[in-house]
A and B are shown apart, each in its own frame.
Chain A
Amino acid sequence: MTKQCFFKQHNIEHIDYKDTEILKKFLNPHARIQGKKRTNVSATNQRKLALAIKRARFMGLLPYVAK
């Protein structure tokens, strides 16, 4: 059974860069963005997610790298 997109499940249309609690779910322990195979997020939302994470990194809300 295929898993549904997280953002579609929760009716999230706009992925906010300030919503770090959600964004953290899609980072690996090294703070890298997980691939679409791992996140099970739709292609559109995966692009929005990546942009939101990059914005959060620029604003110092999420790290670029973590050990």
Chain B
Amino acid sequence: MTETAKTAGTVYEVGFHIVPTVSPENLPQEVDAIKALLGAEKATIISEEFPKLRNLAYTMIKPIGPARHRFDTAYFGWIKFEGPKETVAEFDKALKASDKILRHLIVKTVRENTIYGPKILAEEKKEARADEPKTDKADKKEVKEAAPVDQEELDKSIDKLVA
């Protein structure tokens, strides 16, 4: 395998925050603009997630024109793509120059899905449920079964005492 073939197969991922001042109706246009940049660099898109508004862990500052803007929320999305490394440098420059992109990160990744969090957490919850209710139900049944016997015995003992 030649070096060019190796680099052409490298999978990258760009994660980006779009500023929250963009209205939800105009979001697809912003995403298309990013994709157009990738298309211009002859990169092929593998998978993507449409940007969603989310709270940031800390306030980010972005200088737009003369003013420094502070943002606590942003639309976070990502695109996985494949292309030679030269495309990445140009793409990075283009994203930096954009006023609509608060912050971005390009990393090397793999073609397959890499998010396991929801799946693992769901499995852990299932296991926890499987362990807990059995003991709870068993305890409750025991209590329910024991209660009527106690009442009958009590009634009998009271009758005896009265008689």
Q: In the complex, A60→B17 CA distance in Å?
A: 9
Q: Which residues of A contact B110 (CB under 8 A)?
A: 13-14
Main SS class of interface, B: strand
Q: In the complex, A19→B105 CA distance in Å?
A: 15
Size bracket, chain A contacts: 20 to 34
Which single member of A12, A19, A55, A62 contacts B57 (CB below 8 Å)?
A: A62
Taking each of A17, A19, A60, A61, which has the highest tally of chain B beta carbons within 10 Å of its own beta carbon?
A60
Main SS class of interface, A: loop
Q: In the complex, A57→B17 CA distance in Å?
A: 13
Q: In the complex, A61→B120 CA distance in Å?
A: 19
Q: Which residues of A contact B15 (CB under 8 A)?
A: 17-18, 59
Which residues, 36 to 61 on B, are CB-close (under 8 Å) to A?
Answer: 56-58, 60
Decide yes or no: A12 and B116 within 8 Å by CB, A17-B15, A59-B15 being known contacts.
Answer: yes
Contact A16 B56 (CB under 8 A): no
Contact B105 A55 (CB under 8 A): yes
Does B67 make an interface contact (CB < 8 A)?
no
Q: Which residues of B contact A61 (CB under 8 A)?
A: 57, 76
Does B117 make an interface contact (CB < 8 A)?
yes
Q: Which residues of B contact A10 (CB under 8 A)?
A: 116, 120
Contact A22 B17 (CB under 8 A): no
Shortest distance between the CB of A66 and any CB in chain B (Å): 9
Does B78 make an interface contact (CB < 8 A)?
yes
A-B contact pairs, 10 of them (CB 8 A): A16-B109, A21-B118, A21-B120, A22-B120, A55-B105, A58-B103, A59-B76, A61-B76, A62-B57, A64-B57
Given known contacts A21-B120, A22-B116, A60-B56, what 16 new A-B pairs fall within 8 Å (CB)? A10-B116, A12-B116, A14-B114, A16-B109, A17-B105, A18-B114, A20-B117, A55-B105, A55-B107, A59-B105, A60-B58, A60-B74, A60-B103, A63-B58, A64-B57, A64-B58
Closest 10 CB pairs of A and B: A21-B117, A60-B56, A16-B114, A63-B57, A19-B117, A22-B117, A14-B114, A19-B115, A14-B110, A60-B57
